[in-house]
Structure 1
């Protein structure tokens, strides 16, 4: 029981941090924010899935992926395909040349539903695809790269190239993907209107619950033998390989796990925002997702969530108040963090926050009390003599 407590919750301090985050997500934000702002926070939390995956992949595994938007987009498109098919029933599309297919297909003179879309008429298959499609895609990339010992900056460049290729492919296949506009006008989920404020509130809580579950899974992985091997590979990969471990297998696993986390975030983004487009798949959003993890702390699962919330909140605030300067503000924020706080908000907390809290009364679990003044071991009398006291101490004699 104690082992499970330590592995899943991270011990007492880990549990306290998790409870604080849960209180913010499930109590403070819903009570303090209106429906519009709460939905915005829910959108920010979908990016936190990617940041949590990057902590595992980059922070602990040493695998810097600049293409996590690939998996975010794959999960989002899988969910969007199901929602679009539900919104394209024959009654709703009766004015089209071919009723029963998405509108952008009708615009592109497609007369029947493409075979790749047919399985997404099932919600069960869609949920499976949200997890399986990015995992398989990441597995293919991992086998091609890690088995050949491609890593470090070369792997980052390859993931960028794949993100760019996938974006071009999505835009070019307009009849299958909606092109540059993406898949829009998503209305219902199994007949449930996802556009209402009540539905968005429910989806927010579902998103927050799934995020907490991903954090717990990440903690379990990091506290296991696999987590220790990941850190060993990051620091001394050759030593781990010479010890008889298959380094590429561990890298593939953590890369696939980060891809699945990103895909879940993409699926929740589609549900909460109501569309998915190639603008979330390319290089720029992928680099922004790395910034979330860097600002929050690439060695902290909880810090990644705070980083995603802080950066996106700053992005929204600066773009509303300073529409011409907000990009400079965001760039300045990232530069300050990288130069002065390389371990992000979590590192800042480790180095300064805990020391400050330790000075507060009762934080350490013991009542604060003044430090007693030490008694002198001996004193000298008027004649300069030193004599022992009855209790065995040396004290002054009058």
Structure 2
């Protein structure tokens, strides 16, 4: 028997989200009914709304949900009604990479997170006009309730406010995980972050957790650079007024930076990041760009540097393991991601998108 819910629907490419009444169908055996308390707004949501990623529209987006379990399917064992949960990316759990513990690189990733349907082709959401894509990142959390696949559910302590924890499911996990799970910087090492929005700010905080003693934030927004300094950056650079490569060389006394993380996916920025690397340095890309985007690197003189370029998804994290670690770090005051958040009422969701796009706000969170 279906349930009437309220959701923010992305109706078609580039159009604002519309608050609508939808029908939510019955749970499948591997699903969890979650009443949403809060949901973060992520750049990926805007990319799908704008047609850069392949989720069929109309769709209910949202993939940084946090809420309370109301019911569970017959095959669910990890949570029970009443549990508090944070929602993250879905994965199949059965493919070769999932079985190797590399859930972020699930071989069925695009279908699981962007397909807009269950494995059987059904959608959990519908309107008077017909089906609406659901299960975005396994959840579609821009709604008062969602049927969420169990692999996207992370149980958390009821003592921690869900409104605070919502951003951990994607952006914070991506930035922090890239540093702590993938780059593994040594204590005393140097790291630069290009773009200190939500993902980049999480990387800055994680770099300090890892013991980096030179942490550089690069961004065009002075307000974001100020936040980066407050949460752990030892240096900041604004490309609008300063040559980034020269500035990094000066900060590192000509050695270059040992680790670089790019959140922008802008080819020119990636070239700057690569040029700024020290010998045996590593550059990680976490930013999303339209399919077919190319970048060119100098491979003549840079050959002798022996540098590494890698792409990283979801911080190479297992959400059920990594998100509780981030909660512990936050409780200890070592990962103050809540300083990045501004909350919005559900009806103001389009304002939240606009404020994120303009750089006015680092991490908007919708509160139901």
Indicate the TM-score class for this superposition, using the shorter chain for normalisation.
under 0.3
Q: Which has the larger radius of gyration?
A: 1
Larger relative helix fraction: 1
Larger relative strand fraction: 2
Q: Higher relative contact order at CA 8 Å, sep ≥6: structure 1 or structure 2?
A: 1
TM-score (norm 2): 0.28
